């Protein structure tokens, strides 16, 4: 099941025309002003009204041809007139003809006209809409990096000009992307944000039927996201809210009965899926029949009707109603021959294959199931590029670039600040002169002060000397340690390489055993040397904090270590934050900490064990990440030593893995540099949980989670 309205081509085309006119009505506060004052001319209002009637009656091509002809005769079009003409032409090529190259040309024309806006309100609305149009075209062309950049520009416009309509369009698109990437919880949150932004904007500006249509769609999309996230109660709640909202507003738009009925039909089909999941087949069948009866009509959403028939066929299959199933599939076959629908075509073969399986007719069953698999593989390939793209990372890059641009634009202010600083410095010199003159007038007090200053300076000098000696001693220790480790690395590396080659030669079993022993010992020594080098260098390495999506960082760390866990038959379970959150951290160093904790959990957990990685945001403006294993645990006598460098608390892993005791010491140094904390809880033979906490620089939405981690001690 896909989201509404993107599940059908015809409905999507209608909806895009609606959105184009929604943007039109949002910008048109006072029609009839023909000058370039940010409004539309009377002549263009009349043209768009006639075109709108034809678009609403599904005469899309006829409506566009009229629009094109009438606009060419307009004598003095305003900036908004030309912008809206390009916007409607863009929709025609993007959604009706699917000519994305032409569509992108008109989107670029929209952007050029937006830059000619005559007031900030007109600019904010047109510039955001133009960027979203460019992003949608790039998205269809699978140029996801360019699409995300265009979406981000639209988002910045909405943010900088407090344009809630633009922000709603942005969060709506982010919700669609998260849904297609199967991040259903994030998708639901984005759709909720879009709904609240559009609702708030609607209190000050009536967006008419397009605004109503988008709001009911957002409620339905929230329900679908919860359905896929296995939260049926929440899904039913939002589906019922969608139907209630449609019923409450239907009388306001009596001329849009067709669209309202189609929307009802889609919601009925979505709600039926919840009853299918809970095996309430009678309720599911009743809703599906209502959905089909609506959208099977000519001019309605026939694609959605076909998808609802597929669901009804699944109900019949589950209930064992073979006759009803085969009659339904016969009708559906005739419909698919007329109205192509790749998703319905694939599931048609799946249902028919399962029907023949139950009838014990393997030849026919295999034929249809193979067709189903081929079609599903083809559909999956279309979405593979989107799944591989990382929208959060791309947006983080654009945010950073925007910050760089903002700093560049503030260079003039910096020059002013410099002149102000020079003036203040000059004033400070005058003050110093006056103070000096006052000192000269009271020599006795000055002598006393000088004596005290001399004593203080001598004490400071002594302290600085002692501190310098301590630093020199520490640096000399690190230098010697690095030198020894560095000088040992090459010969030991040579021994490791030589013994690796020797192990492949034809020696006796006893000789091979000795060679492998030397090889393993040298490799372990190399690993120890590398950890020593990192431990001694970490204080001299500069951290480069940057905005980092914590969920993306956790997901990356877990994905990289799943293979290592699989070698011991272990599983890594990840529970990220329930919302998107960026922390200003050194991505590489925090990644090292998380990976080290997960690696230790793998090392000290038994074969087939489960490792849990969880993140939560607390009200103290911090994020806590926990890594829990069910391994051998840490004895009480070792708990005070494990964070010490060269600790004696190191132990071999459950599969004999080597441990040198430096990893946790490095982790603690990294966390201290981030003003964070690291601690643990452990029971022998039951497992260990390591915690790290990181400060949240900017306060966001607080987490509603009731789960608790143990608090770090001071």
**Helix 42-56 / helix 9-27 crossing angle, nearest 10 deg:** 160
Query: 572 — phi, psi (to 5°)?
Result: -115, 120
Q: What is the pLDDT of residue 285?
A: 92
How confident is the model over 409-448, as pLDDT tens digits? 566 667 777 788 888 888 888 888 887 777 677 777 777 7
CA-to-CA distance for 411 and 18, rounded, in angstroms? 44
Beta carbons of 234 and 274 less than 8 angstroms apart: no
Q: In the predicted model, is pLDDT for residue 30 greater than 50? A: no
For β-strands 610-618 and 571-575, DSSP reports them as parallel
Predicted local distance difference test score (pLDDT) of residue 179: 84
397-407, pLDDT tens digit by residue? 656 665 555 55
pLDDT higher than threshold 90 for residue 222:
yes
More confident residue, 539 or 235: 235
**61 vs 250, residue with greater confidence:** 250
More confident residue, 665 or 569: 569
Q: Say yes or no to pLDDT of 528 above 70.
A: no
Q: Cβ–Cβ contacts within 10 Å for residue 460, how many?
A: 10
Q: Indicate whether 502 pLDDT > 90.
A: no
CB 90 within 8 A of CB 106: yes
Judge if 61 and 96 occupy the same domain: yes
Residues 552 and 531 in one domain: no
| pLDDT category of residue 554 using cuts at 50, 70 and 90 | very high
Q: How crowded is the C-beta side of 386, counted as CA atoms within 13 Å?
A: 20
- Measured between alpha carbons, how far is 364 from 349 in angstroms, rounded to an integer? 10
Looking at the fold, whether 174 and 118 belong to one and the same domain comes out as no
Q: What average pLDDT does range 461-474 have in this prediction? A: 76
Q: Are residues 550 and 687 in the same domain?
A: yes
More confident: 136 or 387: 136
Instruction: For residues 199 and 132, state if they share a domain.
Output: no
Task: Look up the CATH number of the domain holding residue 551.
Answer: 3.30.565.10
Q: Which residues lie across from 2 on neighbouring strands? A: none
Q: Are residues 122 and 205 in the same domain?
A: no
- pLDDT surpasses 60 at 33: no
**pLDDT score of 1:** 36
Which of 290-304, 351-365, 371-385, 658-672 has the weakest average pLDDT? Answer: 371-385
Please choose, from the candidates 123, 132, 136, 134, the residue with its C-alpha nearest in 3D space to the C-alpha of residue 167.
132
pLDDT band for position 648 (50/70/90)? low
Question: In angstroms, rounded to a whole number, what is the distance separating the alpha carbons of residues 179 and 186?
Answer: 8
Q: Which residue has the higher pLDDT, 138 or 490?
A: 138
Clarify whether residues 15 and 126 are in a common domain. Answer: yes
Does 390 map to a domain?
no
pLDDT at 650 over 80: no
Residue 468 in domain: yes
Q: Does residue 531 surpass a pLDDT of 70?
A: no
* 197 within some domain: yes
Domain that holds residue 604: 546-695
- Spatial contact of 612 and 573, defined as CB atoms under 8 Å apart: yes
pLDDT for 34:
43
What is the average per-residue pLDDT within 141-159? Answer: 82
Average pLDDT over residues 174-185: 84
Same domain (yes/no): 44, 126: yes
Please name the helix (run of DSSP H) or strand (run of DSSP E) that holds residue 624, with its range, or none: strand 622-628
Task: Report the percentage of the chain scoring pLDDT > 90.
Answer: 21
Tell me how far apart the terminal alpha carbons of the chain are, to the nearest angstrom. Answer: 51
d(CA 334, CA 539): 73
Q: Report strand pairing: 687-695 vs 677-683.
A: antiparallel
Domain end among 187, 222, 257: 222
Mean pLDDT over each residue of the chain, to the nearest integer: 79
Least confidently predicted of 2-16, 53-67, 156-170, 680-694: 2-16
Answer whether residue 412 is part of any domain. Answer: no
pLDDT band at 701 (very low <50, low <70, confident <90, very high): very low
What pLDDT shows up at residue 711? 40
| Highest mean pLDDT: which range of 59-68, 217-226, 249-258, 389-398 | 217-226
Q: Is residue 655 part of a domain?
A: yes
Residues 6+ apart with CB under 8 A from 622: 676, 693, 694, 695, 696
10 Å Cβ neighbour count for 488? 15
Indicate the pLDDT class of residue 506, thresholds 50, 70 and 90: confident
Confidence bin at 518 (pLDDT 50/70/90): confident
Of 344-358, 372-386, 473-487, 577-591, the one with minimum mean pLDDT is 473-487
User: What is the arithmetic mean of pLDDT over 480-502?
Assistant: 68
Query: How far apart are alpha carbons 268 and 286 in whole angstroms?
Result: 9
Average pLDDT over residues 46-65: 74
Count the neighbouring beta carbons within 10 Å of the beta carbon of residue 376: 16
Domain membership of residue 80 (yes or no) is yes
Examine residue 90 and state whether it is found in any structural domain, yes or no.
yes
- Please report the pLDDT score of residue 589 as a whole number: 85
Decide: 261 and 296 in contact? Cβ < 8 Å. Answer: no
Query: What does the pLDDT read at residue 488?
Result: 67
706: preceding bond cis by omega (within 30 degrees):
no
* Whether residue 555 is found in the same domain as residue 656: yes
Q: How many residues are listed for the chain in this entry? A: 714
Q: Each residue of 62-112: pLDDT tens digit? A: 878 888 888 888 888 888 888 888 888 888 898 888 899 999 999 999 999
> Residue 461 contacts by C-beta under 8 Å, 6 or more apart in sequence?
none
Domain end position, chosen among 162, 188, 214: 162
Q: Are 146 and 196 part of one and the same domain?
A: no
User: What's the number of CA atoms in the CB half-sphere (13 Å) around residue 25?
Assistant: 16
pLDDT bucket at 688, cuts 50 / 70 / 90 = very high
Residue 581 lies in a domain: yes
pLDDT above 70: residue 25: no
Nearest to 587 by CA among 669, 698, 691, 670: 670
What contacts 617, CB < 8 A, 6 or more positions away?
577, 581, 623, 624, 696, 700, 702, 703, 705
> Which has the minimum average pLDDT: 335-339, 505-509, 618-622?
505-509
How many Cβ atoms from other residues are within 10 Å of residue 372's Cβ?
A: 20
Same domain, yes or no, for 554 and 578? yes
Rg, C-alpha atoms of the chain: 34
pLDDT of residue 221: 94
Q: Which among 188, 175, 181, 173 has a CA at the least distance from the CA of 138?
A: 173
Question: 404 vs 114, which has greater pLDDT?
Answer: 114
In contact, 175 and 190? CB cutoff 8 Å: yes
**Which has the closest alpha carbon to 105: 116, 115, 90?**
90
Place of tokens 């593979």: 384
**Average of per-residue pLDDT across 388-405:** 59
Domain count across the chain: 4
Same domain, 116 and 204: no
């Amino acid at each position: 099941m896909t989201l509404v309205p993107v599940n059908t081509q015809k409905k999507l085309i209608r909806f895009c025309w609606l959105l184009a006119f929604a943007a039109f009505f949002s910008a048109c506060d006072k029609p009839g002003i023909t000058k370039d004052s940010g409004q539309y001319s009377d002549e263009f209002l009349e043209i768009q009204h006639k075109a709108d009637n034809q678009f609403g009656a599904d005469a899309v091509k006829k409506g566009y041809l009229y629009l094109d002809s009438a606009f060419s005769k307009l004598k003095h079009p305003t900036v908004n007139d030309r912008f809206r003409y390009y916007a409607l032409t863009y929709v025609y090529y993007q959604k009706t003809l699917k000519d994305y190259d032409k569509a992108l040309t008109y989107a670029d024309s929209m952007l050029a006209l937006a830059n000619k806006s005559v007031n900030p309100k007109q600019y904010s609305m047109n510039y955001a809409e133009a960027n979203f149009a460019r992003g949608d075209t790039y998205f269809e062309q699978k140029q996801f990096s360019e699409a995300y950049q265009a979406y981000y520009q639209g988002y910045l416009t909405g943010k900088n000009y407090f344009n809630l309509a633009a922000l709603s369009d942005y969060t709506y698109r982010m919700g669609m992307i998260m849904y297609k990437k199967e991040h259903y919880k994030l998708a639901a949150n984005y759709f909720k944000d879009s709904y609240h932004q559009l609702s708030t904007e609607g209190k000050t500006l009536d967006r008419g039927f397009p605004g109503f249509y988008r709001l009911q769609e957002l409620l339905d999309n929230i329900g679908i996201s919860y359905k896929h996230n296995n939260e049926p109660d929440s899904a039913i709640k939002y589906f019922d809210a969608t139907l209630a909202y449609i019923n409450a507003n239907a009388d306001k738009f009596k001329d849009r009965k067709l669209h309202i009925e189609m929307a009802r039909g889609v919601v009925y089909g979505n709600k039926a899926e919840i009853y299918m999941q809970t095996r309430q087949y009678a309720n599911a069948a009743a809703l599906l029949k209502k959905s089909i009866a609506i959208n099977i009509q000519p001019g309605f959403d026939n694609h959605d009707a076909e998808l609802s028939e597929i669901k009804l066929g699944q109900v019949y299959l589950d209930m064992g109603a073979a006759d009803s199933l085969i009659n339904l599939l016969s009708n559906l076959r005739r419909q698919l021959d007329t109205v192509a629908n790749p998703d319905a075509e694939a599931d048609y073969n799946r249902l028919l294959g399962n029907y023949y399986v139950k009838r014990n007719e393997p030849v026919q069953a295999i034929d249809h199931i193979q067709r189903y698999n081929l079609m599903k593989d083809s559909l999956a390939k279309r979405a593979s590029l989107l799944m591989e793209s990382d929208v959060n990372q791309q947006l983080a890059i654009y945010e950073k670039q925007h910050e760089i641009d903002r700093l560049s634009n503030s260079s003039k202010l910096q020059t002013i600040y410099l002149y102000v600083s020079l003036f203040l410095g000059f004033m400070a010199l005058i003050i110093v002169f006056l103070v000096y003159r006052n000192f000269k007038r009271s020599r006795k007090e000055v002598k006393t002060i000088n004596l005290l200053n001399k004593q203080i300076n001598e004490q400071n000098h002594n302290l600085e000397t002692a501190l310098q000696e301590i630093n020199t001693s520490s640096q000399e220790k690190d230098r010697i340690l690095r030198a020894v480790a560095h000088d040992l690395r090459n010969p030991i590396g040579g021994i490791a390489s030589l013994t690796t080659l020797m192990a492949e030669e034809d020696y006796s079993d006893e000789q091979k055993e000795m060679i492998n022993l030397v090889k393993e010992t040298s490799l372990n020594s190399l690993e120890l040397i590398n950890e020593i080098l990192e431990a001694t260098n970490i204080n001299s390495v500069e951290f480069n904090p940057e905005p980092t999506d914590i969920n993306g960082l956790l997901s990356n760390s877990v994905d990289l270590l799943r293979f290592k866990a699989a070698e011991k038959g272990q599983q890594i379970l990840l529970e990220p934050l329930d919302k998107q959150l960026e922390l200003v951290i050194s991505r590489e160093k925090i990644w090292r900490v998380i990976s080290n904790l997960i690696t230790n959990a793998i090392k000290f957990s038994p074969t087939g064990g489960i490792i849990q990685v969880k993140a939560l945001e607390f009200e103290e403006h911090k994020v806590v990440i926990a890594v829990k294993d069910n391994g051998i645990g840490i004895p009480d006598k070792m708990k005070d030593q494990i964070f010490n460098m060269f600790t004696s608390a190191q132990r071999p892993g459950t599969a004999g893995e080597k441990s040198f005791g430096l990893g946790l010491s490095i982790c603690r140094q990294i966390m201290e540099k981030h003003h964070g904390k690291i601690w643990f809880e452990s029971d022998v033979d039951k497992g260990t949980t390591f915690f790290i906490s990181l400060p949240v620089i900017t306060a966001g939405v607080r987490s509603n989670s009731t789960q608790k981690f143990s608090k770090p001690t001071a």
